[in-house]
Amino acid sequence: MELAVLGSGSRGNAFAVRARGVSMLLDAGFGPQTLTKRAERVGIDLGALVGVVLTHEHGDHARGAGRIARAAGCPVYASAGTLAALADRLGDVPRHRIEPLRPLSIGPFSLTGCHTSHDAAEPMAFVVSTTGGKLGLAYDLGRPTTAVRYLLRDVTTLLLEANHDEIMLRTGNYPPAVRERIAGAGGHLSNRAAAELVAELIHEGLELVVLVHLSDRCNRSDLARSEVERALAGRRFRGKVLVALQDEPLPPITVAREPSQFELALTG
């Protein structure tokens, strides 16, 4: 399975996964033109989508969903609450409900979701797997819950929110109500909270952590990366940490499969 980080941040989020010649979009938080242009740059044909999967209805995740799905002739997949919140915007696009912790097959992909703590109708985090790898996506979450930890326990590639630096948020120029929302249980994960969660989730198969949904006002990529790398230092993590960009796709990433016990024994 291949992953394309098409862009991530407070102003829009979208990822594509590709396997056996077809692709699936995870969130569509840019307009159709931007999405199409970025997908083309990383060799993904949005006309060959098997589905558009949405974490929740906020514009920075769902803005282009209806138009992209309609153009591709594929369904939108989301929780019942998210689909209800988007009913007007999706119009006649076919849709499928995602039930928590119940795996769903979409083309060559298996998708499992769980609820997250965020101020939206029924937001979810996801794991996508194929025979070739397992990817987790968790962002827009105020707190990591037991369900999220369970869902992400054995992914080989982890896309995790590192929204804000706690000091920059506290000293920045947001009105107090906004600041409290961001830091609250229905808000966003700080660099520190992301670092703690990554440290908890380390296992031998975890090869890549991509930090996503960085705030452009209360974070910097060097701060997010160093906070997470500090939490990983001295642990058994042999993988890489990348930071997603808001305005540019990252070069395509191969999502590794879980190494076998035999391979683990060989590498010590």
How far apart are CB 261 and Zn ion at their closest, in Å?
A: 38
* 250 phi, psi to nearest 5 deg: -85, 155
How far apart are CB 92 and Zn ion at their closest, in Å?
A: 25
When the beta carbons of 36 and 82 are compared against Zn ion, the nearer one is 82
Tally Cβ neighbours within 10 Å of residue 193: 22
When the beta carbons of 19 and 52 are compared against Zn ion, the nearer one is 52
When the beta carbons of 107 and 187 are compared against Zn ion, the nearer one is 187
How far apart are CB 55 and Zn ion at their closest, in Å?
A: 8
When the beta carbons of 50 and 194 are compared against Zn ion, the nearer one is 194
How far apart are CB 246 and Zn ion at their closest, in Å?
A: 12
* 59 phi, psi to nearest 5 deg: -55, -35
When the beta carbons of 58 and 115 are compared against Zn ion, the nearer one is 58
One-letter-per-residue 3-state SS of 174-221? CCHHHHHHHHCCCCCCEHHHHHHHHHHHCCCCCCEEEEECCCCCCCCH
When the beta carbons of 2 and 161 are compared against Zn ion, the nearer one is 161
Give the footprint of Zn ion on this chain (CB under 5 A). Answer: 58, 60, 140
How far apart are CB 242 and Zn ion at their closest, in Å?
A: 19
How far apart are CB 139 and Zn ion at their closest, in Å?
A: 7
- 138 forms beta bridges with 160
When the beta carbons of 38 and 58 are compared against Zn ion, the nearer one is 58
d(C-alpha 180, C-alpha 263), whole Å: 47
CB 29, CB 62: distance < 8 Å: yes
How far apart are CB 213 and Zn ion at their closest, in Å?
A: 6
CB 255, CB 1: distance < 8 Å: yes
Taking the alpha carbons at both ends of the chain, their separation in whole angstroms is 26
Q: Residues 54, 155, 228, 119: what is their CA dihedral angle, to the nearest 10 degrees? A: 30
Q: List the beta strands (DSSP E) in the chain.
A: 2-7, 14-19, 22-28, 49-53, 76-78, 95-97, 104-106, 109-115, 124-130, 133-138, 157-161, 208-212, 240-243, 253-254
3-state SS assignment for residue 109 = strand
Question: 182 is written with which tokens?
Answer: 């961001």
